[in-house]
């Protein structure tokens, strides 16, 4: 009788395999007691803020005031915040810009326009940086652009 019981046990285990629920497969021995992999929190993607191209015009011009010419004549790159056909309108804008903390200068272009400059630079890169800084700080001047003085 003992032999019958032993034989029944061996046939129930199907050749020495463990009894497991249907569809279950045990993980490999190397991962049985390992911690589950941790998911790293996803960092939000930071995309650079799109920067509108900086318009550039190259032209000849004169300074409206002699004092401005003395202060800025050595520079070739000018940050422009406005252009006006009528001198009175240019002076109104200049006054407004002064109240906002700028030191505007009126340039008389070869095309007859009164350009309002709020900075002059000897290096183009510095002028471009100033244009971008003005655009960021003063959204109402998001159309600021660069004037390059053409040699006479």
Give CA torsion, residues 81, 83, 87, 88, to 10 deg.
Answer: -60
- For residue 32, which phi and psi values (nearest 5 degrees)? -60, -40
Q: Which two tokens stand for residue 44?
A: 């939000």
- % of the chain surpassing 70 pLDDT: 65
Cα 102-107-112 angle, rounded to 5 deg: 140
pLDDT of residue 41: 63
* Predicted local confidence at residue 151, as pLDDT: 84
| Structure confidence at residue 24 (pLDDT) | 55
**Residue 77 token pair:** 């790159």
DSSP 3: H
Domain ranges of the chain: 56-149
Does the pTM exceed 0.85? no
- Per-residue confidence of the chain (152 residues) as pLDDT tens digits? 565 555 555 555 554 455 555 555 555 655 555 566 666 666 666 555 555 699 999 999 999 999 999 999 999 999 999 999 999 999 999 999 999 999 999 999 999 999 999 999 999 999 999 999 999 999 999 999 999 999 85
The pair of three-digit structure tokens given for residue 137, joined into one six-digit string = 């700080």
CATH of 56-149, one of 3.40.640.10, 3.30.70.1070, 2.130.10.10, 3.20.20.150: 3.30.70.1070
The arrangement of strands across the sheet holding 56-59 comes to 56-59, 145-149, 77-84, 114-121, 105-109, 61-63
């Amino acid at each position: 009788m003992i032999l019958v019981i032993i034989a029944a046990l061996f046939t129930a285990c199907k050749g020495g395999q463990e009894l497991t629920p249907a569809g279950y497969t045990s993980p490999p021995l190397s991962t049985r007691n390992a911690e589950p992999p941790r998911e790293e929190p996803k960092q939000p993607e930071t995309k650079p803020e799109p920067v509108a191209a900086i318009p550039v015009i190259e032209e000849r011009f004169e300074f409206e005031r002699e004092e401005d010419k003395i202060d800025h004549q050595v520079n070739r790159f000018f940050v422009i915040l406005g252009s006006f056909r009528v001198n009175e309108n240019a002076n109104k804008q200049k006054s407004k810009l002064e109240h906002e903390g700028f030191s505007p200068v009126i340039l008389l272009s070869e095309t007859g326009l009164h350009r309002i400059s709020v900075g002059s630079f000897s290096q183009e890169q510095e002028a471009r940086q100033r244009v971008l800084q003005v655009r960021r700080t003063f959204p109402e001047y998001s159309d600021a652009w660069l004037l390059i003085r053409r040699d006479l």
